[in-house]
Each structure stands twice: as structure tokens, then as C-alpha cells.
Amino acid sequence: MTNPYARRLMSRLLVVAILTLGVAGLGALGSAACSTRVPTLEERAVALDRQLMCPICDGQTLDESQSQLAQQMKQVIREKLAQGETEDQIKAYFSSPDRYGPAVLAAPPASGFNLVLWALPPALTIVGLGGLFLLIRAMRVRSRPAGVRAGDLMLATYLEQVDRELGLAKGAPPPGSGPGLDPLAVPGAGEKRVEQRNG
Amino acid sequence: MADLGTMAVLLALVLSLYASAGSVAGHALRLPELAVSARRALYLTLPVTAAAVGALVAAFVSHDFSIEYVWRHSNLVMDPGYTWVALYAGNEGSLLYIALVLSLMSAVAVRTVPSRFAGSMPWTIALLGIMQAFYFFVMAFFASPFSTFDFLPGDGRGINPLLTHPGMFTHPPMLMSGLAGITVPFAFAAGALISGNYGDDWVDVARVSALVVWGILGVGLLLGAWWAYTILGWGGYWGWDPIENVAFMPWLVLTAFIHSIMVQKRRGMFRMWNVALLDIAFVLAQLGMFINRGGPVVSVHSFASSTLGLVFLSFMLLSLVFSFGLFIWRYPQLKSDRPLESFLSREASFLVNNFLLLAVAFVTLWGVVFPLFSDLAQGVEVSVAAPYFNRVNGPLLLAVVFMMGVGPLLPWRKSSGRSLQRWFVIPLATGLAVVAGLLIAGLREPLAVVAFGVIAFVAAAIVEEWYRGSAARRRTGEQWPVAWWRLVNGNRPRHGGYVVHLAILTLATGVVGTQFFDQRTDVVLRQGESVVLDNYRIEYVRRDTAERQDRIARWVDLNVYRTDPAEYEADANGWRVEGRRFDTRGGAYPGDHLLDTLQPWHGFYTQFNQVSVRAGIRSTPVEDLYIIPSDFLDDGRVLLRVSINPLAWWLWVAGPVFVLGTIVALWPQPSVERLTARAAVPQARAQAKA
């Protein structure tokens, strides 16, 4: 790897290989998503078991519960599926007010007031990530003119130079290339510096 | 015994109040003797609380049913080994246990704190004293473990059968210790804030104490999952139950804290953020205590419900107001030393990781409280259970795992394009190769494939770091194992963290395997019949019953064969096959071979009208065969639930690895290095002067 040309070629080849792999992976993933097989009746029944609560057990789904009532409800689910009823029909059957009410659903449907339950987490995540982006950007902008004290800057430049020379002398990568390389932090920074010097 | 216990509780209440008041007064009035006596009072609560616990244990052992708590949670036939479990089987005993843990942790923390932190200690001691006093106060006036009957009942009600499992010796006490223990790092941070010593002195003590508490909570959560898997009998290990959630949320926030505190330690940044994280963790822990001790949400754990809710709710609101009031008061002084320089820096990645962990915590909190909202706002009772949490938290947790790989690969401050290339190429290629490989192998669950790819990416990143670090050391003549060992030893917080990351990866592997690829079937078998699931055939050999004093115990002997399901599906040999069930009395396919015999067990506790089961589990790194006897029918048939849980074994590997990593991260740096460092400081000063 001493030849810089060969080195560059190698790294470019690697990048191309990764991109190819990535595109292939995404393509295959897409086709996999499209070609999901039809679930069996029992698989559909188990999926429903997991979406309905056992009305007499504290916080257990039909799938988890060992109670008699849960066994009977599971039986009803299987019969109804066999008769050709859809998942939604079965859920509506159990959650109707004259049966067990909406609390029998393990998660409320995303409609009406319950939409709040479902919409808040993604909204929060998107707004939060956006806020984080703005925050980091603001911290960077603010930092540029006055943030770094003159002494720090001099020290940092100096240390970077030292690292670079040491690094080059032993064939290590240039400074800033390895994780944990931190010319500014004094406590605890020794380990990585040693690593770098040895490298 | 009851009188001794009651007196001990009252004495401990007085002592902890004195410790609080004396500590602050001694500091304010400059009376060092008063401050010292306050500190000793805090120490003294430990033996006094231990005496109260001793009194309760003695009452259990001597079957003193005149004490209501002993009557409620034990009886004459109870195995004396379970006295320890009975101690915290109910609210009152749990409070006593928490008080014991709190006084132990307070004493250790105050005793071992470095002297340079002394300026903040009066306030820290005061806060620890107040927290203890709260528990003694509740025990003294609302929920005494030592309240007695006027008469002497003949026998007690007995311990809840769900609690009679080895996991119960450690799971509840660890969770309670963890929740209570968050007080310690919080008290350090708050003490520093009140006293005005908001430099970085509190960082080390807060980091170490937070790491201890975080480790305890994490192990408690894992033990809970293990307990659920082997005894709760629903074939799962994590149900997003409210009680699990309230322990999980502070753990997440503490996870964020132990990461971002490293940024403060090394770069002097994120000061406000770190204080805020401890505040949030502390308040969430109080929420956990509130919901545990008779809160408004139902769960499988509600054997400890009571009317204490209001007291704990008030205390939780008080801690909310206090911690955030403090934060706002000191906000202007908590500025960072240094700015953030780049999106592509470890600091920035820690911010993203913190945000994601908090997002999981708040989304979970939202799910826990939403039923209350719904009841208030629309007057409709709804349930929010696993389907909600899996869907909203799944992607967020996957992102957390992904950041676990990205963060360590980014350098502090900023990174160049070349550094990114150098460090990211191999892990990314590994991740993508795994994705491609799994797709070629025929896996058709897009989310699971992505998850495995992410896990491989993170694992490769850790291996790459260890490999490069060791390789660098090896050039100085060290052998591989020595080089790696010294690398890890050189920066234990960091490499201990990587070990914990590996534990999280094995955990994630198990979660993805069991969530996406499990198979199950419920089947009623007659004696001699078999059920075929995938390439297992399970044969019902015989069943048995035994009536014990407190329960009817039943078990079933099962033979597990490795088989080729096609043989049975084809029905080629004329065996009667109904679905997956068929009769083997006429002889089974001769190619089957016996793998194992299992004996799952089912107990019905008449007094509690409660069922407790032990699953029959055949565990291998590839998959678990997991069988629960759901019911024993009168005509001799059994109702079995047979599941195949792929990769479940890896869930439990995570436990020891997690503990190991936490210990590595906590282990003090070798004294030689410390000595050199100490020697170096005066030298450097001398040089600076010269």
C-alpha cells in the first residue's frame, strides 16, 4: 500500500463496490417487500390474538393469556376467520359497546381523538430532529468568529502539527482521521494519543 | 418484633430529617460540628433501617401472623428461602426495602466521595436525607409494614405464587434499587448546582454513581425478561407493561446521560444538558415509584396495588418542580466551555443518540399515560399495549442501535472526508454484505433484514476499532491478546462501553429473531399423539398430578424428535394427519430421532385462584423450542402451546456480557497510571513557571 496511486484506486474500488452492494440490497429489499407471501389462516389468527386484550386479565393480550375466556375468544377468532370474516370485522365485533368495548383492542385505531396517540411520536421525532439540526448549526455558526479562544487555537494547531509529524513518521493516518483523536482535551486523551503514536 | 420495627422506622425518620436540617444549618451557620453530626446521622440510618428489616425477617421466620404484612405474604408451608422475596411482596415491605437500599447507597456515596467535592456535600447530604425521610414518613403514617391485628390468625395467606421463582430473588430488588438509586447521582448534581460549584467536579462522582445505578437497572430489566420468559407462561419476555415501561424509561435517560457526560468530561460541553438529563431520570424514577406503589394503571404486576397513589403522586410533582426549578435557576451558569464544531463529530453524534433515547422514553411515557388522557378527554377506556409500542419504538430503537455504530467511528470535534472513508468503509460493507446475504438466503422480512444489517454494521465497527487499536500496539512487539488487553485497559470507560454495545447487539439479535420469525401452534393432544411444528415432532408421553398443600401441580412428559415435516405433510405412509397433529400409536416415521425430553409444569394455586407455569424449553443458539401446558383436560388430553423462538438464546447471553462491560467501564484506572499522572502535574507546573 505504499504506492499512493494503488491506494487511491483501491479505495475508489471499495466505494464502487459498496455503492453497488447498496443498490443491489435496496433493490432486493424492494422486491422482497412486494413479494410477501399470503399468510395462513392460523398466522392471521395469531396476529389477531396479539391485537386483542384479554378482558379479565391485567394488561395481557389474548395471545399471552392462559385464561378460559381468552381461549374461548381465540376459538371465536378462528371460527370467524374460517367463515371468511376480515380482521376489521372481527375487531369491530369484539370491541362493540355491547361486547367488551374499545378497551379490548390492544392499541386504539388511528382515528378521531386516538389519532393524537399515533401522530404525536412521529411528529415529535421529526420536529425534534429538525430542532437538533438547527441547534447544531447555530452552535457551529456562533462558534466560528469568537468561539475558539486564541490560546486553544494555537495549541490545537501545534498539537495537530506534532501529531501529523509523528503520524507520518510511523505511517499512521493524518490527524483527525481516527476516532477519539482530540488535541484539545487533556484528561483521558493520552490513551488515544499513544495509540496514534504507536500506529 | 412489631414494636421494634415501628420504633426503628420512627427513629430513622428523625435521623434522616436531622441529617438534612443539620447539614444545611451546619453549613449556613458555619458550625462544622453540626455538619459532622448530620453526616453521622445519615450513616446511622443504615443500621437503624437494617434493624427494622431484621425485625420483619424475624417475624416472617417465626411466623408471627399477628403482623398483618407477615400474615398477608406468607404462611406455614412457605419455603423459608422465600422469606427474602416475601419481604418485598407487598407495598409496605417494598418501601422498607427501598429505604434500606437508599440508606446504604447514600452512606456509600457520602463516604467515598472525593474531598474536592466537599463544597457541595452539605446540600447533597440534605437531599439524600429528604429522600430517605420521605420513605420513612410514608411507612410511619400511611403504610407501616409493622401494623398488627388485635387477634392472632392461625395461618397466613401465603406468598403470591408468581413470585416463587429464582428470578424473583433478584429482579424486583434490582429494579427497586435502580429506581431508588437514581437519587444519588441526582443529589450530586443538585448539590453542585445549589452550592454554586457547577464546575466539572461533580462529573466524576455523578458518572460513576449513575453508571452503577444504570447497571443495576439494566440487569433488573433483563432478569425481569428472563422471569417472564420462563414463568409467566405467555412465551414472551417483554410486554411493554406499564411497570416494565416505568423502569425502562429512566434506564433510557440514564443511558443518554452516561454517554453525554463523557462529552462534558472530555470537552467541557453539554453541561446544561447533562443536568437536565439527570433531572428527567430522577423525575421518571419518581413516576415509576408512583405507578409501582398504587398508581392508576393496571398491569400484570399489580399485586402491590394500594391507596398510596396520592402520596407518591404529590412527591413526584414536588420532585418535578424542585429539579426543574433548580435547573432554571442555575441555567445561566451552565454554559459550555467550547462550541460544537461539526455535524460529523462525536459530540454531534452523542446529541443525536441522546435525542433518540429520549424520544423512545417519551414515546413510551406517552403510551403509558394515554389511557388516562383518553378517559379524561373522551370518557372512553382504551388500552395501549404491545402493538403501539412495537410500531412506534421499533424504528427509534433501530436508529439508536445504528448510532451505536456511527458515534464511536466519528472523531471528536470534526472529521475529514478521508477519515470517514477510512473508518466507515469496512463496517458499511459488512452491513450491506449481511443484508445481501440474508436476501439471497431467502429472508423475506424487509425490516428484519435491515435490522440484521444494522447489527452487523455496529459489530463490524467495534471489531474494527479493536483490531486497529491492537494492531497499532502489536507493532511495538506485543502479542495479539496482550495488545488487545492493554488497549482495553488503557481506556476502560470507552472499551467497557463497547462490551456493553456488544451485549445490546446480542439482545437486538434475539429481539429481531423472536419478533419476526417465531412460529407457534396451540394444539390439544391425546396420549400417544404428536404435533409437528417445523422440523420438530413433540410426542405426549404421559401426564401426572400431585396435590400439594397450596397447589395442584400437574406436569406432562414430552419427547422431542427431530423430523422432516414433509414426511408427515405428504401423509405418504398412511398415518392420520389432522393439521399438524397425528396419532403416533401406530408408529411414527422411522427417520425421526429423539432430541430431548421435556417436562413442562403447571400449578394451580387454589387460595389465589391463580395459575403458574414453568415452560419446557429446549434452548440452542439457533432457536428455542418452547412448550407451555396451557390446560389439562378432564378426559386426559392436554392443551399445549408449542412455539419456536428463533435466536432467543442470544437474549440471555446479553446479561453476562452487559454486566462484564459495566464492570470494565466502572473499574478504577490502575493506580500506577494515577501515580504517574499525579507526578506529572507538579512537574508540568514547574515547567510552566520556568
What helix, strand, coil percent values describe chain A, rounded to 5?
Answer: 65, 0, 30
* Inter-residue contact B498 to B466 (CB < 8 Å): yes
Q: What is the pLDDT of residue A143?
A: 53
Distances (CA, A) of B281 to B207, B286, B290: 14, 9, 14
For residue A60, give the nearest of B300, B377, B476 by CB distance.
B300
pLDDT, average across residues B507-529: 89
Q: Using one digit for the tens of pLDDT, what is the confidence trace for B590-615?
A: 778 899 999 998 888 877 777 788 88
Q: How far apart are CA B220 and CA B178, in angstroms?
A: 8
Classified as helix, coil or strand, A24 is: helix
Q: How far apart are CA B222 and CA B475, in angstroms?
A: 40
Closest C-alpha among B207, B195, B178 to residue B277: B207
Closest C-alpha among B295, B107, B341, B526 to residue A141: B341
**Interchain contact B239–A (C-beta under 8 A):** yes
Which of the four pLDDT bands, split at 50, 70 and 90, describes residue B154?
Answer: confident
User: Strand order of the sheet with strand B623-632?
Assistant: B519-525, B638-646, B623-632, B616-619
A-contacting residues in B 350-369 (Cβ below 8 Å): 351-352, 355, 359, 362-363, 366-367
User: Cα-flanking dihedrals φ and ψ of residue A59, to 5°?
Assistant: 65, 30
Q: How far apart are CA A180 and CA A196, in angstroms?
A: 10
Helix ranges (H only) for B182-200 are 183-195
For residue B385, give the nearest of A59, A114, A199 by CB distance.
A59
Neighbours of B200 (CB within 10 A): 17
**Interchain contact B631–A (C-beta under 8 A):** yes
Residue B443 DSSP class: -
**DSSP structure string for B649-667:** HHHHHHHHHHHHHHHHHHS
Which of the four pLDDT bands, split at 50, 70 and 90, describes residue B82?
Answer: confident
**Interchain contact B678–A (C-beta under 8 A):** no
Domains of chain A by residue range:
1-36, 41-107, 110-147, 149-199
> CB B384 to CB A121 under 8 A?
no
CA–chain centroid gap for A107, Å, is 22
Beta partners for B577?
B582
Burial class of B9 by CB neighbour count within 10 A (0 to 12, 13 to 18, 19+): buried
Residue B231 DSSP class: I
| More reliable by pLDDT, B3 or B342 | B3
> CB A117 to CB B443 under 8 A?
no
When scoring B245, B419, B449 by the number of chain A Cβ atoms within 10 A, the one with the most, hence best to mutate, is B419
Q: What is the pLDDT of residue B573?
A: 47
pLDDT, average across residues B505-514: 94
**Interchain contact B614–A (C-beta under 8 A):** no
End-to-end CA distance of chain B: 70
* Inter-residue contact B110 to B43 (CB < 8 Å): yes
Farthest CA pair distance, chain B:
98
* Inter-residue contact B642 to B531 (CB < 8 Å): yes
For residue A199, give the nearest of B299, B388, B472 by CB distance.
B472
Instruction: Walk along chain A (199 residues) and give the pLDDT tens digit of each residue.
Output: 456 677 677 666 766 766 676 666 666 666 655 555 677 787 888 889 989 998 887 778 888 887 888 888 998 998 998 888 999 999 999 988 888 888 899 888 888 888 889 999 999 899 999 988 888 887 776 555 444 444 455 566 666 666 666 654 444 444 444 444 444 444 443 344 333 333 2
**Interchain contact A11–B (C-beta under 8 A):** yes
Average pLDDT, chain B: 85
Q: How far apart are CA B562 and CA B533, in angstroms?
A: 10
Q: What is the pLDDT of residue B193?
A: 87
Kindly state the cell numbers that stand for B669.
484506572
Q: What is the pLDDT of residue A11?
A: 66
Asked if pLDDT for residue B648 goes beyond 50, the answer is yes
Which of the four pLDDT bands, split at 50, 70 and 90, describes residue B166?
Answer: confident
**Interchain contact B265–A (C-beta under 8 A):** yes
CA atoms within 13 A on the CB side of B512: 23
E strand or H helix that includes residue A72: helix A68-82
- Strand B577-578 relative to strand B551-562: parallel, antiparallel, unpaired? unpaired
Which of the four pLDDT bands, split at 50, 70 and 90, describes residue B651?
Answer: very high
> CB A179 to CB B520 under 8 A?
no
**DSSP structure string for B41-53:** HHHHHHHHHHHHH
Distances (CA, A) of B335 to A145, B274, B332, B344: 18, 12, 7, 22
Planar angle of CA A17, A18, A24, nearest 5 degrees? 90
Q: How far apart are CA B532 and CA B582, in angstroms?
A: 8
Classified as helix, coil or strand, B199 is: coil
Contacts of B431 in chain A (CB under 8 A): none
Contacts of B342 in chain A (CB under 8 A): 140
Q: What is the pLDDT of residue B120?
A: 86
Q: How far apart are CA B234 and CA B240, in angstroms?
A: 13
Q: Using one digit for the tens of pLDDT, what is the confidence trace for B16-67?
A: 999 999 999 988 888 888 989 999 999 999 999 999 999 999 999 999 899 9
Asked if pLDDT for residue B180 goes beyond 50, the answer is yes
Q: What is the pLDDT of residue A30?
A: 62
* Inter-residue contact B14 to B55 (CB < 8 Å): no
Task: Report the percentage of chain B scoring pLDDT > 90.
Answer: 40
**Closest chain B residue to A97, measured at CA:** B380
Contacts of A29 in chain B (CB under 8 A): 435, 439, 446, 449-450
Count A/B contacts: CB-CB distance under 8 Å: 245
The C-alpha cell 423475506 sits at B444
Task: Report the percentage of chain B scoring pLDDT > 70.
Answer: 91
> CB B346 to CB A71 under 8 A?
no
Burial class of B120 by CB neighbour count within 10 A (0 to 12, 13 to 18, 19+): buried
Closest C-alpha among B643, B644, B625, B637 to residue B540: B637
**Interchain contact A176–B (C-beta under 8 A):** yes
Burial class of B519 by CB neighbour count within 10 A (0 to 12, 13 to 18, 19+): middle
For residue B374, give the nearest of A28, A113, A179 by CB distance.
A113
Beta partners for B131?
none
pLDDT, average across residues B57-86: 89
**Interchain contact A199–B (C-beta under 8 A):** yes
Q: What is the pLDDT of residue B294?
A: 63
Kindly state the cell numbers that stand for B128.
439524600
The C-alpha cell 452491513 sits at B431
Q: What is the pLDDT of residue B300?
A: 45
**Closest chain A residue to B240, measured at CA:** A59
- String of b and e for B620-633 (b: at least 16 CB within 10 Å)? eeebbbbbbbbbbe
Neighbours of B230 (CB within 10 A): 18
Kindly state the cell numbers that stand for A83.
367463515
* Cβ partners under 8 Å of residue A160, min gap 6: A175, A176, A183
* Inter-residue contact B382 to A115 (CB < 8 Å): no
Contacts of B631 in chain A (CB under 8 A): 66, 71
Q: How far apart are CA B645 and CA B237, in angstroms?
A: 11
pLDDT, average across residues B3-25: 94
**Closest chain B residue to A149, measured at CA:** B338
Beta partners for B644?
B519, B625
Which of the four pLDDT bands, split at 50, 70 and 90, describes residue B532?
Answer: confident
Q: How far apart are CA B584 and CA B528, in angstroms?
A: 6
Helix ranges (H only) for B518-647 are 565-569
Residue B99 DSSP class: H
What helix, strand, coil percent values describe chain B, rounded to 5?
Answer: 65, 10, 25
Helix ranges (H only) for B333-445 are 346-378, 386-409, 417-440
Contacts of B265 in chain A (CB under 8 A): 187-188
Distances (CA, A) of B607 to B89, B157, B232, B300, B318: 16, 8, 18, 18, 40
Contacts of A63 in chain B (CB under 8 A): 234-235
Q: What distance in Å separates residue A115's CA from the closest CA in chain B?
A: 11
* Cβ partners under 8 Å of residue A129, min gap 6: B355
**DSSP structure string for B282-310:** HHHHHHHHHHHTT-S---TTGGG--STHH
Q: How far apart are CA B429 and CA B433, in angstroms?
A: 6
pLDDT, average across residues B354-366: 93
Which of the four pLDDT bands, split at 50, 70 and 90, describes residue B424?
Answer: confident
Q: What distance in Å separates residue A97's CA from the closest CA in chain B?
A: 11
Kindly state the cell numbers that stand for B137.
414518613
When scoring A31, A50, A62, A64 by the number of chain B Cβ atoms within 10 A, the one with the most, hence best to mutate, is A64
Contacts of A163 in chain B (CB under 8 A): none
Q: How far apart are CA B538 and CA B519, in angstroms?
A: 14
Neighbours of A23 (CB within 10 A): 11
> CB A185 to CB B412 under 8 A?
yes
Q: How far apart are CA B8 and CA B3, in angstroms?
A: 8
> CB B239 to CB A59 under 8 A?
yes
pLDDT, average across residues B386-390: 91
Q: What is the pLDDT of residue A169?
A: 43
Q: Using one digit for the tens of pLDDT, what is the confidence trace for A149-178?
A: 444 555 666 666 666 666 544 444 444 444
Kindly state the cell numbers that stand for B181.
438509586
Which of the four pLDDT bands, split at 50, 70 and 90, describes residue B554?
Answer: very high
**Interchain contact A74–B (C-beta under 8 A):** yes
E strand or H helix that includes residue A113: none
Contacts of A13 in chain B (CB under 8 A): none
Fold of A41-107: Helicase, Ruva Protein; domain 3 (1.10.8)
